[in-house]
Amino acid sequence: MRIAIVNDMPMAVAAIQRVLDGSRKHQLAWVAYDGAEAVRRCAENLPDLILMDLVMPVLDGVEATRQIMAKTPCAVLVVTANRDTQTAKIFEAMSAGALDVTNTPNLGTDLTRGGATLLTKIDTIGKLIGPQKEMRVPESKGTNSVSISKQRKPLVAIGASAGGPAALAKVLGSLPDNFPAAIVVVQHVDEQFAPGLALWLNGQAALSVRLAREGDQPTPGTVLVAGTGDHLTCLNPTTLGYTPHPQDYAYRPSVDAFFESLACNWRGYVVGVLLTGMGRDGANGLKTLRNKGHFTIAQDRATSAVYGMPKAAAALDAAVEILPLEEIGPKLNEIFHMRNRSD
């Protein structure tokens, strides 16, 4: 991949360059020392991936990411030395369209370990932005209408990637604390940042938000967020768990893996929601849910920070409805209000 570095610290730039040179797999496109320069350079010479610092003069990494995604979209990986003290900025950057976050390697004894972590992140993003392997979609057909028959354990399953934190906050923030369905979220985020994401979302919603644990049974009133490097799946009609399989999916945790496990194992009513994100993770899983007769929603192009995952879902006809972000929460309230009246 052609990779650009955006960082105002020469030592950090040197460390990242050394890691890239040592990999022999990537080409340095250019280096920018502030966000404004990065926006200009992208307009002139768009790379495959940007390694974006957060705290910089002139224009910080959050606003630079926002402007790049609006003008010349490409993959952005936040690389910061201030991970533990910049939680708010990290989720702002991810809301603006950044795919993931990792620590800045340094030129000291940590270079080998930090460099390996950085290269792993780059390889994962390479799989996301490269050709995606088509996963088999079951042939079974189902109704596309909202079922209002009595079924136990209603659940809302939400998948998101780049731009997801802000989108999730918008959807969850529009639901009341007595929302009658359980909610499970799979957001593409490094497991180191998952606790911070759950805590941040908890402050944006009336519902309680926490990380999903092995053996959890989703219940109304609590939002469970996938929280490890393994895939969150539905193990049986009532219980969630984590699994390393399938190992060849481009992103972990995978939205497809979760949606498809629900289609196989969950015995209640499901509403599947696919929000903003790069790549196509979740599109086939959403199609599987629709084929099983569940209601499915994809975010529209205009309100998506990155119109990748919902675009793939639309191309598969996986969504019963394609909605602007601000209408998704009200639609969920409407669906479950209808169900409560009929039950």
Catalytic residue among 26, 188, 231, 294: 188
Nearest to 200 by CA among 210, 212, 187, 191: 210
Q: Is 294 annotated as catalytic?
A: no
Alpha helices in the chain (DSSP H): 10-23, 35-44, 61-71, 87-96, 111-129, 164-173, 194-202, 255-265, 283-291, 309-315, 325-342
Task: Answer for the pair 299, 142: CB distance below 8 angstroms, yes or no.
Answer: no
Catalytic residue among 161, 174, 261, 304: 161
Query: Could you tell me whether strands 155-160 and 231-234 are parallel, antiparallel, or unpaired per DSSP bridges?
Result: unpaired
Bond before 220 cis per omega within 30 degrees: no
Q: Is 161 annotated as catalytic?
A: yes
Q: List all residues 6 or more positions away from 259 whose beta carbon is below 8 Å from its beta carbon.
A: 157, 159, 272, 282, 285, 286, 288, 289
Catalytic residue among 231, 281, 300, 304: 281
Q: Is 208 annotated as catalytic?
A: no
Task: Answer for the pair 258, 159: CB distance below 8 angstroms, yes or no.
Answer: yes
Q: Is 140 exposed, middle or buried (0-12, 13-18, 19+ CB in 10 A)?
A: exposed
Q: How many CA atoms lie within 13 A of 87 on its CB side?
A: 12
Compute the distance between CA of residue 88 and CA of residue 224 in angstroms, rounded to an integer: 20
Residues marked active site are found at 161, 188, 281
